[in-house]
A and B are shown apart, each in its own frame.
Chain A
Amino acid sequence: MRYLVLVVFLVFVQTSFLQVFFKPGFIAPDLLLVALLTRAYVTGRDAVLWAIFGGSLLDIMTDTLGLNLALEPLAVYLFILLNEKIFFKTWLTYMLGAGLSFLVKKVLSLIVMKIKFSFSFSLVSLVLALVVEILIATAVYFAYLKRKE
């Protein structure tokens, strides 16, 4: 239940605040994905179901039906697969998987949206969003996951 509230809250923050600073909105830092990866790190494969739910919610809130439903589970899936292949868990292995997931999700979002719509975006914004995601993921790792370990 607590996690459900957290997911809804993060989706809300992501769609209402962060999208003001990042245009187009789908390149904004993905707080939901950070939460999903944290969940996947702790509970494993079940996080994919949360990714499907969170992605759908994000789609409804941003009016891009299908985009996040497809890409959030995919990013979490990649993270879980990578995490399962690595025997030891450190910040570096966590960040490797998380960074890859963030990057894959951003790049695929751009490709998919470019196929469907015509828009311009700033590379600086994209990099900034990635950096913010990595920083938040790092903070979450040291504040929550490390203690959990």
Chain B
Amino acid sequence: MKGGRFHLITFGAVVIGLTILFTDLSKFSYVRAVVMVFNTAISPVLNLKERILTQTEEKIDTYFRLVDVKKENLDLKRRIQSLMLLEVELRSCQRDLQTLRELIRISKTFSRLDYAISRVIYYDPSGFDLFLIVEGGKDRNFKERDLVVTQKEVVGFVEAVFGSTSRVVTPFSANFSCTVVLSGSGKRYIYRGGYPLGDLLHVKVEDKVKEGDRVILIDTEGRVPPFPLGVVEQVRRGKDPFFKEVKVRPLVDPRRIDYLFIIRRRD
């Protein structure tokens, strides 16, 4: 192809191409007829192309979906392994619980507790938090020595029951005393309230008691589940050569309590 013809053909092709594109020439009736004939002639090829296009798209979609599924599978496997580990830990905890239960001799199945939900209506004005006044008294069948707790700790005992209120003595009061055990030991002790620390009475010198041990209130008759009462804060040699002096910090902070449970004592 020589000189001007080459340029002319190229220029012509470009002009015709752009004209067809921008004028939508293919929509004119006579051109449409030509295009339709042409399309009909090559329709098998176009159909094949469309089929391949669709199949390729589907295959690629499937591939990416499978990749996602594989990733999800890996994540799930990791989660299952983690859950299996947790299951092992749970079983270990259950065994420990069983051991502890046998150690402190508490009943396996507590009968359904008879309790009432009450509200604190008055705090100890002395600031020592020795008692609380709660809503409900004789009208709700509260009795003296009913245990008062929150979901997490012991609040005290009902000390006096009035018409529609009750006075609850807290572990900070010297009037509060109960049977307790230390976590990890089945031995029972008597806790006597005090401000700011209560005392664990008659702890023998050879008894293994250390700071940080949890003090748990137990019902000697096994009708009420154990509730945490406090934590051992000081252990020292007492004046009496046979016993240690053990100070316990109660867990309860009476001024933070709004609602509490009163577990009715069954006679």
Which residues of A are in contact with B by a Cβ distance under 8 Å? 12, 15-17, 19-21, 44-46, 48-49, 51-52, 55, 59-61, 64-71, 73-74, 76-77, 80, 112, 115-116
Contacts and interface: CB of A to CB of B under 8 A. Distances in A.
B9 A60 contact: no
Given A60-B39, A66-B22, A55 B9 contact: no
Given A68-B17, A73-B10, A116-B22, 15 more contacts: A16-B48, A16-B49, A16-B52, A16-B56, A17-B53, A19-B53, A20-B56, A48-B6, A49-B1, A60-B38, A66-B20, A70-B21, A71-B14, A74-B10, A112-B21
B25 A48 contact: no
B21 A65 contact: yes
A121 B105 CA distance: 75
Interface in B1-52: 1, 6-7, 9-10, 13-22, 25-26, 35, 38-39, 42, 45-46, 48-49, 52
A67 B20 CA distance: 8
9 contacts: A17-B52, A20-B56, A21-B60, A45-B1, A59-B17, A65-B21, A69-B13, A69-B20, A70-B21
Contacts of A55: 13, 17
Interface string B84-95: 000000000000
A7 B52 CA distance: 18
A50 B1 CA distance: 13
A17 B53 CA distance: 6
B31 to A, nearest CB: 9
B16 A46 contact: no
B77 to A, nearest CB: 31
A141 B16 CA distance: 32
B39 to A, nearest CB: 7
Contacts of B20: 65-66, 69
A70 B14 contact: yes
A67 B21 contact: yes
Contact of A66 (B6, B21, B39, B57): B21
B21 A16 contact: no
Contacts, number: 89
* Max chain A C-beta neighbours (<10 A), residue from B19, B39, B49, B56: B49
A12 B51 CA distance: 12
A6 to B, nearest CB: 16
A66 B53 contact: no
Given A15-B49, A66-B22, A20 B10 contact: no
B56 A69 contact: no
B6 A67 contact: no
A16 B9 CA distance: 29
A60 B57 CA distance: 21
B42 A70 contact: no
Nearest to A77: B10
Contacts of A76: 10
A48 B239 CA distance: 114
A67 B24 CA distance: 11
Nearest to B46: A61
Contacts of A44: 1
Contacts of B18: 66, 70, 112
Contacts of B42: 60
A116 B196 CA distance: 85
A52 B60 contact: no
A12 B14 contact: no
Nearest to B20: A66
